[in-house]
Amino acid sequence: MTDAEMEALLRSVEISHHERGWDELPATLYSVIRDGDRVNLNGLELIDPQRHPREEIASLARSMERPWAAAVMRKHFRAASVAHLLVFEGWARDFAPGEEPDRSLADIPGSRKMRLVTGVYGEEQMTLMRIRGEEPQPLRDVHTGHMVESLRRIHDAERRAFE
């Protein structure tokens, strides 16, 4: 998958989430499957009410790294996904280096609602961020925390299963 294809895919997915509205969709993990010239998305909503989406995606990553998981993936899928996407909403705020918030960002004046759509493909990563009330902007090689680390682990585990 090329960088241009990934950016177009991130924009398309972000628009589909944006059209539904803010706070309307849970964090969603997508597998990107290439079928000839077509690209298909399979979505999994991270909706366990007892766990934060970061815990759900980390649990999925741990499961996919288990020794038996590769055989299960090969049994159910013809090939590895060409990419994985993660869409989630949260809060953003700029802090001085070393400054840590003492409460939820949602409770701190000046915080802004944002949506991140991150794709991992091959060894690459690309993120599209929309701040509420603004147009989405691409971000390259931005570390976006534990959820994206788990996304990378899922992508790598699936790739290893088909080597």
Spell out the SS3 assignment of 34-78.
EECCEEEEEEEECCCCCCCHHHHHHHHHHHHCCCCHHHHHHHHCC
How far apart are the C-alpha atoms of 137 and 154, rounded to whole Å?
A: 25
Question: What pLDDT shows up at residue 13?
Answer: 94
Q: Which two tokens stand for residue 159?
A: 């790739």
Residue 3's SS3 state is: helix
Mean pLDDT of 116-122: 92
Q: Which two tokens stand for residue 154?
A: 């899922």
Instruction: Report the predicted TM-score, pTM, of the whole model to 2 decimal places.
Output: 0.85
Whether the CB-CB separation of 80 and 162 falls below 8 Å is answered with yes
Question: What pLDDT shows up at residue 38?
Answer: 84
- Output the average pLDDT for the chain: 85
What would you report as the CA-atom Rg of the chain, rounded to the nearest whole angstrom?
Answer: 16
Question: What pLDDT shows up at residue 43?
Answer: 87
Q: Which two tokens stand for residue 52?
A: 């934060």
pLDDT band per the 50, 70, 90 thresholds, residue 18: very high
Is it the case that residue 98 has pLDDT exceeding 70? no
pLDDT tens for 31-68 read 998 888 888 888 888 888 778 888 999 999 999 999 99
Question: How many residues are present in the chain?
Answer: 163
